[in-house]
Amino acid sequence: MTIFNSDEQELLERIRLAKAQSIAFLNSEKQPTKRMIGAPVKKKLNSKSGEECPICKEKMKLSKRRQTPLDNTEATVEHILDLALGGNNKLENFMIICNRCNEVNNQLMQEYLKIEIADKRLLIGSLDWRKELRTSEKKILKLFQYIEWCLKLGQDSAKGEFPEIDTLFSKYRYGKISPVLPIKSPSILIKIISYFGRLISGFGKSESKNLSNSSGPSVRMEETEQDSQRTPEEIDFTPEEFSRSILQMSREFPVFFGQTYGYLISKHSRFNLSNYNISPNEYLRLHCSDFLEIEERPDKVGQIHYWISPKKKAIGAKISLDASKIIEDSRKRAQKNSEKKIAKIRREFTNTNTHTIEDPKSRFRKLIFEIFSENETNRLSLSALGVRMSRKVQDEGYQNSKEYFQSVHGSSMTISDALNSYFTNEEIRFTGIPQIVNGMRTMKYTHVELHRRD
Ligand SMILES: [Zn+2]
């Protein structure tokens, strides 16, 4: 069992939050947040002048009169979770990096998350792009990879986790040849170097440190066919251990192998097969079939994805289906699964956010108490309450109150309904102005008062 230190724990939490934020955005119709650089961010920017860029380790400068185009080494602000992916302008979503790395990151995002329809490239973050993205599990996983990469930028712990993205980064940042090795090896370069190092040397655990003094021969950028003939004896875990551990990463089966493997290595890095230059899919196919049920599911473009579940005792008859049906089924399943996954992430996120799993009633009550106490009042207009409620639930990753009620309470409630159902008449009082509607005297409620009795 790996024990995370608090920094790692916090990072995992931030990654989860960023993913939840992004998913909420994907499912919404709202415009991306507009770029806004507030005073605290400017202050942060100013403070980084003369410091190293956390990505490339070049010393950054902050010229008094900046010229466009900016110099490569000018310090710039970067949204860690891009606004086009649901990011916001809160201080913690900013990172100060050099202008060159900033440009490269943007280029990389455009490339890695691109979706083309009939040769037309959809604008990242646009409604069309979101619609395409959320119906494809593969694309969602790719987005998640990218988000994780962004949040781990400049961190040593992410070594070799994202070879595909690192390769792109290296290509844009340093050109096509293998990167020139700086004396102070920045983390991202270590990642790239150790990745290439493995490809070059072709054997096992070459330490990135040993490689960082040799300028490696140039390497083709395409992914090299990995060595699938490697025997499992050279690996310091057995296929059985691997299988057992990966099954512990999920409670629902079958589960998509690629993502589960991602969870596994983030928890237990010793299972990271890239340390052995082995592709996870190869390892699964060649060594794990005795311990896992492995199901092949082709996607729309015919690429095979593996889904795993615990080994069944009795082996059922294999049913052969025609290929188009398999593809159609897999497409449906992918959509269903991505919906499930979104719901799950949202649940997990909400749970970790409130630290305990609470019933809908106490969650709602808590929200209301928070709103009133944050406003230091016991009386609010219904419209003000509505606005504050929306803000609260958006912080939890919901699009709006309607979605919150739908998801937490399983029904479409209004705030007034919920106030009536979850508070007693002594606790909550509606006030308003009398009205005559169709000759009947009624009240038009405009305000709500909270009488807290504890
Ligand atoms: Zn940089």
pLDDT one-digit tens code per residue, 172-191: 888 753 333 332 333 444 33
* Number of C-beta neighbours around residue 387 at 10 A: 14
Residue 149's pLDDT is: 93
Q: What is the largest CA-CA distance in the chain?
A: 90
User: Buried (b) or exposed (e) across 43-75, using 16+ Cβ within 10 A?
Assistant: ebbeebeeebbbbbbbebbbeeeeeeebebbbb
Domain extent listing, the chain: 6-154, 225-316, 358-450
Q: How far is the centre of ligand 1, averaged over its atoms, from the C-alpha of 59 (Å)?
A: 8
* Number of C-beta neighbours around residue 202 at 10 A: 13
For residue 108, pLDDT over 60 is answered with yes
Q: How far is the centre of ligand 1, averaged over its atoms, from the C-alpha of 179 (Å)?
A: 14
Q: How far is the centre of ligand 1, averaged over its atoms, from the C-alpha of 99 (Å)?
A: 7
pLDDT 10s digits, 122-149 = 999 999 999 999 888 889 999 999 999 9
Which CATH class, in words, describes the domain spanning 225-316?
A: alpha beta
Q: How far is the centre of ligand 1, averaged over its atoms, from the C-alpha of 284 (Å)?
A: 37
Q: How far is CA 283 from CA 147, 161, 235, 249, 343, in A?
A: 26, 17, 11, 18, 30
Q: How far is the centre of ligand 1, averaged over its atoms, from the C-alpha of 7 (Å)?
A: 23
Amino acid at 103: E
> Cα separation of 226 and 282, whole Å?
9
**Ligand 1 being an ion, which residues bring their Cβ within 5 A of it?**
53, 55-56, 98, 101
Cα 448 to the chain's mean position, in Å? Answer: 38
Token output for 28: 């919404």
Residue 408's pLDDT is: 80
Average pLDDT over residues 223-227: 35
Q: How far is the centre of ligand 1, averaged over its atoms, from the C-alpha of 50 (Å)?
A: 13
Mean per-residue pLDDT of the chain: 77
Q: How far is the centre of ligand 1, averaged over its atoms, from the C-alpha of 152 (Å)?
A: 15
pLDDT 10s digits, 248-302 = 988 888 888 988 898 898 888 889 888 777 788 888 988 888 889 988 887 766 6
Q: How far is the centre of ligand 1, averaged over its atoms, from the C-alpha of 76 (Å)?
A: 10
Asked if ipTM goes beyond 0.85, one says yes
User: What is residue 253's DSSP assignment?
Assistant: S
Q: How far is the centre of ligand 1, averaged over its atoms, from the C-alpha of 101 (Å)?
A: 4
Give the three-state DSSP class for 102. Answer: helix
Q: How far is the centre of ligand 1, averaged over its atoms, from the C-alpha of 432 (Å)?
A: 59
For residue 225, pLDDT over 70 is answered with no
